[in-house]
Structure 1
Amino acid sequence: MMKPICKVLIVDDEILVRQGIKYVLDWEQEGFQIVGEAANGREALNSLPALQPHIILTDIVMPVMDGEEFTRLVKRDYPAIEVIVLSSFSEFHYVRSTFQHGVADYILKPKLEAGALLQVLKKTRERIPELCAAGEQTEAEATPLDTLLGRMLSGYRLPLESEAEVKRQLPHECLALLGWEPVQPATVITIITTELNQRVPGLVQCVIPGTERPGTTIMLMNLQEAHWPQLLEAVYHLADMLAGQEPDVRLILSRRFRSLSELASVRQESDARLQQCRFFQPEQTLLIQPECPEQETQPPKFNLALFTEQVKRQQLTEAFGDLHQHVDALSRQDDGDVYEFKSFLGNIIFNITNLFSHIRELDEGKYGLFRAIDEAGTAEQAMQILEDYLNRIMELTTSAASTQGGNAKMMKLLQYIEEHYAEPLSLTELARHFHFNPSYLSSLFTTHNHEGFKEHLNTVRTDKAAELLRAGEAPIAEVSSMVGYGDHSYFCKVFKKYYGLSPSGYRRQHYGQE
């Protein structure tokens, strides 16, 4: 005799805690199934109509809606659902209040381990009448279709009798997934299922629990191949209808497939497309995956060398203008990669910050920018972070130029050094070239630059030497002369002062050599 599966929902604002709970037990082996997870009480409450869990594991202290209010609303509206509270010692006064609402038990987070958790879960399962009243049914007969599909979606291989039961309940040759986000009340789910039933003859629908990403509902549809046009028409009609009633809802229809063995891969395709759309086209409310794989378009190339040269020459308007055009083109790609897009922005900020390393404010704030871009929910948000950063650079450089009295002479000096660093430059020769007094030139550097002439020249030369060493072609002695050092030993001494490694050590480190 096989007991029905007990469905569990995890609610905790810490993703590491949720992940820990998911992997602390062999849930299927013990007769349980995690049907979903949520980061706060409000998100969990919205998911209950679709997920229909038997047991909820919930934290107490959470944003948006805490565990105490969530428990009260669950026991009021879904009295059959059992609630187990997760807490720490310091939160026990909150736990005490939840018992007034009828929680089944509590577990202290510091002592959360497999044996204790399983014991509480089994004891709580015994309080649920429908799970304790299992008769002489087989697993396939006792387990609902949505639970079986949820197992398949998570990669679980069904027994032969369960596979046969799934195929019996899905008699048609054509399969597709319909997903929508955010999770909607039961009334919206009813609207969706009713509308599809009315417009697609013989359609079989089943909402699948256990989605890995909270906030999204997935439904499997089974229909005759000949009725696929009616399904497309119905989905378009649904999108128009919901746009007026629930403007925040986004629908995604997968491609057609014929075998349930494709269920997980089709779901992954839909998730990837949904992630792209959510980031690059957040205003789009209906996504229909193409029947044939789309040809991947190559992203436009960005001329980083030209950009770097323009920034070094203080041609910021031109450099940032080209960058804006490139980022805008990346954001408009239909098959754009979210990770690559964010990585590009992060790399640009890293490179620019290095070029303006003398502006301490930029260097200190770069890690906050990396985090902000990583957490950006849309391309527009990420682009705005970059835009604000570039505007700040313009302000700081303009301010610096103003502090220097708009000293065009200083800019010309720095540009000349950048172009002639490999020559035997000295303060006297530079003063002669620009018709300055050497002492005036020395004072000019000290007043209007963050380092003196000698230090600046060494910075430029060692930076160029580092580039050549990374290229890995020229011998170190040759690199020394290429960047303007006639004395090889002096070059090694200066390089180590600026980079903390000898030239050979720097090259080995770059290539990961012992």
Structure 2
Amino acid sequence: MLKPICKVLIVDDEVLVRQGIKYVLDWEQEGFQIVGEAANGREALDSLPTLQPHIILTDIVMPVMDGEEFTRLVKRDYPATQVIVLSSFSEFHYVRSTFQHGVADYILKPKLEAGALLQVLKMTRERIPELSEAGGQTEAAAQPLDSLLGRMLSGYRLPPEGEAEVKRQLPYEGFALLGWELAQQAAAITTISGELRKRVPGLVPCVLPGTEPPGTTYMLLNLPEAHWPQLLEAVNHLADTLAGQETEIRLTLSRRFSSLSELAAVQQESNARLQQCRFFRPDQILLVQGEQSVQETPLPKFNLTQFTDQLKRQQLAEAFGDLHQHVAALSRRDDGDVYQFKSFLGNIIFNITNQFSHLPELEDGKYGLFRAVDEAVTAEQAMQILDDYLARIMELTSSAAAAPGGNTNMTRLLQYIEEHYTEPLTLTELARHFHFNPSYLSSLFTTYNHEGFKEHLNTVRTGKAAELLRAGEAPIAEISSMVGYGDHSYFCKVFKKYYGLSPSGYRRQYYGQE
């Protein structure tokens, strides 16, 4: 013979208080079960149709809806539910008003300890006819199915009579778990269970108690194995229907399993899938486990050594382009892990900031970037934070290059051109010599000199040609090759563009002025 479990809901806006209450007692051993928790009265009120607690432990001062209003609404709509108020000494005038609404008792938070809490809980339980000693003890068969499943999720093994009752109410060999996130849970439960029953013959749905995180609901589906195709069709139809009504809903259907001993593990898998769906696929309404696309090959590991070397060589365009492609590929993985994705971005930002430690603007803002990435709710949002950061680096490094003497590499480049202008220089060859990215080198020239590489090389070459023409010794046909032009006619065209005269005209004018 088993005594019915007394279901308890905890309502407090402080996470540490809720955690403390959850672990101060061995709830199951004392005949109680925590079926859920909420951070304010509104959140708790929305969960009551699903959780149906016997006792509510509630704080008084909370955001959104405080304990006083919450208690009034509970006693109005759920008069059989018992409410125990948690308060501090300074809040006693609030507590006094809640007694007018019929609260069972109150406990001062500074005095909250196992013995006092258990005593108040047991006294309150005696006020509930179906749970009191006087109400008699009931068979396991009288226990609600959600209570039995809740005990299994908590790791407790049911006695034989409890297992028999679960088998009686869930008679089929096939199980699956449907999970969803939605603010208004009560209406969703009615809609979802009704739609699935209508389309899947023999389906037995049961909402699991006390699911985490808040706002997430899991419905255990029991059905004959042969009806799995109908279930898949029904869930897809359900997703299409709800998508037109609730744009924020996310659904996940677990893999099939045949034993309730797997229930806790499957729920954890479904939790992870919902989290991934919310982060990587914010526009995808439904994820069916096992139907995600198969990755043909593992994504290559990001080459951090090469990336760091590119940063040292100022090959920013190439380095940041490779990084963006890798992050974009990570965001498209069906097997993506949110924590690993954010950790990768954080490590990259840390490494880049170290490479540009001479820029105080980056060092001062890096912790804000870490926080922003950690708080990003989608992969796209996190990628935008990274892209904005990379664009800022490009802007700062370009400004530094434009400043007089602000880029020692530029000085080396100009000196090299001055010494090797007679050779067939190209931007690609110059970039290869200095281990720069050609596109970065081109933009650096434009920023620093207000002219591109080709224009600067022509300026040097035509200037040297003008010196030779004024010297009057070398034939004009030879001067073009002496300054690096292989095509004499092209040399004449370029020279005239820069000096307004042909080489021969320039020489005649010079000697005519002497």
TM-score by length of 2: 0.74
Aligned to 2:228: 228
How much does 1:48 deviate? 1.6
Deviations 1:323-355 (A, max 9, x none): 111111111101011111111011011111211
Aligned to 1:196: 196
For 1:5, the aligned partner's letter is I
How much does 1:256 deviate? 1.2
The answer to whether the aligner puts 1:258 opposite 2:228 as a matched pair is no
Aligned to 2:407: 408
For 2:321, the aligned partner's letter is G
Contact 2:4 2:137 (C-alpha < 8 Å) held by counterparts: no
Contact 2:18 2:37 (C-alpha < 8 Å) held by counterparts: yes
How much does 1:255 deviate? 1.4
Aligned to 2:496: none
**Structure 1: how far apart are the matches of 2:296 and 2:50?**
35
Deviations 1:377-436 (A, max 9, x none): 22122223223332333344344445x33733466579x9xxxxxxxxxxxxxxxxxxxx
Aligned to 2:138: 137
Contact 1:296 1:335 (C-alpha < 8 Å) held by counterparts: no
**Structure 1: how far apart are the matches of 2:353 and 2:234?**
52
Contact 1:87 1:109 (C-alpha < 8 Å) held by counterparts: yes
**Structure 1: how far apart are the matches of 2:410 and 2:20?**
57
**Structure 1: how far apart are the matches of 2:340 and 2:319?**
21
Matches within 5 A, 1:182-221: 182-221=182-221
Aligned to 2:20: 20
Q: Which deviates further from its counterpart, 147-156 or 9-18?
A: 9-18
Contact 1:255 1:291 (C-alpha < 8 Å) held by counterparts: no
Aligned length: 414
Aligned to 2:456: none
Deviations 1:293-340 (A, max 9, x none): 967962332121222122223333332222111111111101011111
Contact 2:251 2:274 (C-alpha < 8 Å) held by counterparts: no
**Structure 2: how far apart are the matches of 1:185 and 1:292?**
27
Provide structure 1 residue ranges, at least 5 long, that are not aligned to the other structure: 417-514
For 1:82, the aligned partner's letter is Q
Deviations 1:39-84 (A, max 9, x none): 3333222222111111222233333333333333333332322222
Matches within 5 A, 1:54-133: 54-132=54-132
Contact 1:346 1:370 (C-alpha < 8 Å) held by counterparts: yes
| 1:130 aligned counterpart, secondary structure | coil
| 1:323 aligned counterpart, secondary structure | helix
Aligned to 1:155: 155
Distance 1:323 1:46, change over 3 A: same
Aligned to 1:370: 370
For 1:352, the aligned partner's letter is I
Contact 2:250 2:286 (C-alpha < 8 Å) held by counterparts: yes
**Structure 2: how far apart are the matches of 1:296 and 1:27?**
48
For 2:53, the aligned partner's letter is P
**Structure 2: how far apart are the matches of 1:196 and 1:317?**
53
**Structure 1: how far apart are the matches of 2:250 and 2:110?**
39
How much does 1:250 deviate? 1.7
Distance 1:283 1:153, change over 3 A: same
Aligned to 2:454: none
| Aligned Cα root-mean-square deviation (Å) | 2.7
| 2:213 aligned counterpart, secondary structure | coil
Contact 1:37 1:213 (C-alpha < 8 Å) held by counterparts: no
| 1:257 aligned counterpart, secondary structure | coil
Contact 1:205 1:219 (C-alpha < 8 Å) held by counterparts: yes
For 1:217, the aligned partner's letter is T
Matches within 5 A, 1:87-486: 87-132=87-132, 134-138=135-139, 140-290=140-290, 298-402=298-402, 404-405=403-404, 407-409=406-408, 412=411
**Structure 1: how far apart are the matches of 2:209 and 2:225?**
26
Percent of residue pairs bearing the same amino acid type: 80
How much does 1:198 deviate? 1.6
| 1:129 aligned counterpart, secondary structure | coil
How much does 1:90 deviate? 3.9
Distance 1:353 1:103, change over 3 A: farther
**Structure 2: how far apart are the matches of 1:211 and 1:66?**
23
**Structure 1: how far apart are the matches of 2:298 and 2:187?**
43
TM-score by length of 1: 0.74
Q: Which deviates further from its counterpart, 126-135 or 43-52?
A: 126-135
Contact 2:152 2:158 (C-alpha < 8 Å) held by counterparts: yes
For 1:137, the aligned partner's letter is T
Distance 1:308 1:104, change over 3 A: same
| 1:211 aligned counterpart, secondary structure | coil
How much does 1:192 deviate? 1.3
How much does 1:7 deviate? 0.8
For 1:382, the aligned partner's letter is A
Q: Which deviates further from its counterpart, 295-304 or 366-375?
A: 295-304
Contact 1:179 1:218 (C-alpha < 8 Å) held by counterparts: yes
**Structure 2: how far apart are the matches of 1:297 and 1:383?**
23
- Pick the structure with greater CA Rg: 2
Distance 1:74 1:380, change over 3 A: farther
Contact 1:300 1:330 (C-alpha < 8 Å) held by counterparts: no
For 1:102, the aligned partner's letter is G
**Structure 1: how far apart are the matches of 2:354 and 2:407?**
23
| 1:71 aligned counterpart, secondary structure | helix
**Structure 2: how far apart are the matches of 1:206 and 1:308?**
54
Provide structure 2 residue ranges, at least 5 long, that are not aligned to the other structure: 416-514
How much does 1:166 deviate? 0.7
| 2:130 aligned counterpart, secondary structure | helix
| 2:184 aligned counterpart, secondary structure | coil
